[in-house]
Structure 1
């Protein structure tokens, strides 16, 4: 029993880093806590794609955005997040990151997590294994160059999401061997479909009510999402939901875990 308690305590320590810093404006949603996601513990998460997801409590959500950065819409989304002191995770397309490095740096400077989504949003299930790996590595390298000025296929943040959620067993095994966590989602806003911001708000809040918690997928390239987000964040605040910000383990914690 003592050993079991020690293991549970270690697991909690490895996944829950700390409560987020308090927002200076008390009337905002804020970021409730920071969750450290170790790919060794959580190699694949998101109920729409995998059996497991992140250890979230009731009414806790993780906000994720795909396909950016795109200055006209991403800038509005960053402004909405900042106005509510909320931090999110952006799964970026490498060629877009290469085209807008200052926006990538801004996202990181404002406390958001920079994650990866291939170089050109290819469906990796429809190309050879070698080409798929090239897309993954080239995307990571472009993101790292935009963020840190150094091209490397070893990501600062080892979080990856497959375009269209289309993976293969071989690619999943490769990413797990490289200690890169693969993210699906627990539900999404379906913002790839044309709709008004109000229609999208109603859709995603309905799915949130049905799920109660989870990793939510948006796209920061969509104007309707940028227009809807302030109202969605207000909905979260008014209905007692809490935002959890995900981050990778620190270099020191990774060394200890080996």
Structure 2
């Protein structure tokens, strides 16, 4: 079992895209170190807080993710990321997307990945299967409407995160069958708890030092997170961490003979 997982990881590392992101026009910024392409065939679900496996990251590589937006504080988060030339992944809730479609397009225009986080952030584990599937589909359709002008249940970026990280085997199988990668997290900022930006910075940097790498969960609607983020990105830069931007692997081109 262990040998097969090691082999699978080696194949993934050999096949994945690891191209460096475009150079930042401003010297001395953190920047995005590389781009990692994933799909549900090779990485159906990632994040050690929920699953046995995570993304193939090297020591001191991190993936920045933000849940529950868009919100009034999202522009502040975008400004902090842009100031350091960093790309992240936003898992958006459909109701907020419908209320703020221009902001969704702004996130996409800045080069960030946009995944989905259901329509209304209900705990899918406690819903009947058909209602859970509808929550997923309505969330996807909201993002597609904001980005493409018409609803679709096929996401442009097939990334999904369960509210509260509560999944079921049936829903995990459904998402994998639809080619959608399920993201958990390797550690988080616990920013659903009230704290000052400095307290949050102290907490997340301590967890980062303990884990050394991984998928980090933040929430862009939290004012304390938006206020803390510039200092956190500066901490990453000063301590030689590298940001990895996760994108969807393009579908294989059809080959005719």
Query: Is the pair's TM-score, using the shorter chain for normalization, greater than 0.5?
Result: yes
For structure 2, the 5+ residue unaligned runs are 1-7
Distance in 2 of aligned mates of 1:254 and 1:162 = 30
Q: Which residue of structure 2 lines up, in the alignment, with residue 3 of structure 1?
A: none
Q: Which residue of structure 2 lines up, in the alignment, with residue 58 of structure 1?
A: 59
Distance in 2 of aligned mates of 1:8 and 1:165 = 24
Moved more, 34-43 or 12-21: 12-21
Q: Tell me how far 1:26 sits from its aligned partner.
A: 1.3
Distance in 2 of aligned mates of 1:235 and 1:17 = 24
Cα RMSD for the two superposed structures: 1.6
Q: Tell me how far 1:8 sits from its aligned partner.
A: 7.8
Q: Say yes or no: does 1:115 pair with 2:104.
A: no
Tell whether the 8 Å contact from 1:14 to 1:36 is kept in structure 2 after alignment.
Answer: no
Distance in 1 of aligned mates of 2:134 and 2:168 = 15
- 2:217 match: secondary structure: strand
For structure 1, the 5+ residue unaligned runs are 1-6
Deviation string for 1:202-229 (max 9, x for gaps)? 0000000000000000000000000000
Tell whether the 8 Å contact from 1:28 to 1:237 is kept in structure 2 after alignment.
Answer: yes
Q: Tell me how far 1:150 sits from its aligned partner.
A: 1.7
- 2:73 match: secondary structure: helix
Tell whether the 8 Å contact from 2:158 to 2:180 is kept in structure 1 after alignment.
Answer: yes
Question: Pairwise mapping of residues 203-222 of structure 1 onto structure 2 (< 5 A)?
Answer: 203-222=203-222
Distance in 1 of aligned mates of 2:87 and 2:140 = 21
Distance in 2 of aligned mates of 1:198 and 1:101 = 31
Distance in 2 of aligned mates of 1:14 and 1:149 = 34
Distance in 2 of aligned mates of 1:8 and 1:181 = 16
Q: Tell me how far 1:11 sits from its aligned partner.
A: 3.0
- Shift in alpha-carbon separation, 1:165–1:9, aligned structure 2, 3 A: closer
- 2:54 match: secondary structure: coil
Q: TM-score, normalised by structure 1?
A: 0.93
Q: Say yes or no: does 1:35 pair with 2:36.
A: yes
Q: TM-score, normalised by structure 2?
A: 0.94
Q: Which residue of structure 1 lines up, in the alignment, with residue 104 of structure 2?
A: 104
Deviation string for 1:98-135 (max 9, x for gaps)? 11111111101100001010000000011100100000
Question: Pairwise mapping of residues 1-258 of structure 1 onto structure 2 (< 5 A)?
Answer: 11-12=12-13, 14-70=15-71, 72-251=72-251, 253=252
Q: For this pair of structures, how many residues does the alignment match?
A: 249
